[in-house]
Amino acid sequence: MFKIAYRRVADVSPFVYLPGADGLTLGMAVTLTSGALAKGTASVKPTHIIMGPKREDGNYPAIEVNDNIVFETTSTATVAQTVVGSAVTLAADALTVTATATKGVFKVLTTDGATTNSTVTGVFVEPAAVAA
């Protein structure tokens, strides 16, 4: 799950309440598409992080992703120190990251380098274009 590690500014991110697909969960990276939240995909920068369960009105509380929020999560593979500074992709669950740097959207700032499930911090970025 993506949780706020720290903010680079003293501001607090307000919750927004948006409709979304069923099954989105706390800490999930999601994308706002056609007015509704959808589970994030590997190489698309998420627009929001889910901050609670779906409400009776069909809306999810979420915060917008921005450059001033550093998130913490775990990985599905070892994220070594050599990956720091590179962007990795989202895992299929949209709650964790992989160690794959091709078209990554989560720029790793720190990692504990633990085997398999590394704890990492980072920021969301646009994926780099793949050279033709």
Query: Do 116 and 98 touch, CB atoms closer than 8 A?
Result: no
Residue range 101-123, pLDDT digits in tens: 999 999 999 999 999 899 999 99
Sorting pLDDT into bands at 50, 70 and 90, what band is 131? low
- pTM (predicted TM-score): 0.93
Q: Give the contacts of 36 (CB within 8 A, at least 6 positions apart).
A: 18, 19, 20, 21
